[in-house]
Each structure stands twice: as C-alpha cells, then as structure tokens.
Amino acid sequence: MGCEDESALVQTENPENELPVIIHLEKRNEVVTIMSGQEGILYTVRTKDGRTLAQDLSEQELQTKLPDIYNSLKKSYAGCNKSDLFWGGH
C-alpha cells in the first residue's frame, strides 16, 4: 500500500484528524501502520484480530512502549517497483 500512487488516509485518536498512510507492514502477529503526521512519522500497531496495541506513537514512544516492534522495524528494509513489493529483515 505504501508504494501506491493513491493516497490512503487513516483515522487517528482524534476523529477529526486523518493522516496520510506511508505504508502498512504486516508482521507475524501485528500490523504496523506508518503515517505522516504534522510533526513527523507516527506509528500505530494492531494485532491481526484488530486490537490496538499502540496508536499515533512517535519513533521514540514506539521504542519505549514496544521495543520488539521498534527493533524489528529498525533492522528491516522495504522497497517497491511496478513488479514487486517487499519487506525483509536482516
């Protein structure tokens, strides 16, 4: 989704705020949504069944509250072109 030309929006804790989605990253047990906030990148983490673990966290907040998710993101890479989309870890 993050490599699409169309802009996706996700609702934040404040129902009047919608933020552009950069990418949704699906892990084994969680889905991490990375968004472009007014003051930088924000992260929302949900379980596969839709339970919110954290919403609208800065990078520092993600590192503090969900260090395993933070570390897996920092060790990963993502890329895309017209023929494929990939995300992998080291």
Number of independent structural domains in the chain: 1
Q: Is residue 30 part of a domain?
A: yes
Token pair 């990375």 in the structure block, residue: 34
Token pair 């989605």 in the structure block, residue: 21
The pTM of the full predicted model, rounded to 2 decimals, is 0.70
pLDDT grade for 35, boundaries at 50, 70 and 90:
very high
Domain, as residue range, for 28: 9-76
> Who wins on pLDDT, 51 or 86?
51
Please give the angle made by the CA atoms of 15, 10 and 17, to the nearest 5 degrees: 35
Q: Is residue 86 part of a domain?
A: no
CA 44 – CA 58 distance, rounded (Å): 9
pLDDT of residue 81: 56
Give me the mean pLDDT over the 29-52 stretch.
Answer: 94
> Who wins on pLDDT, 85 or 73?
73
Q: Is residue 87 part of a domain?
A: no
Model confidence at 31: pLDDT above 70: yes
Give me the mean pLDDT over the 32-41 stretch.
Answer: 92
In percent, how much of the chain has pLDDT > 90? 47
pLDDT of residue 19: 87
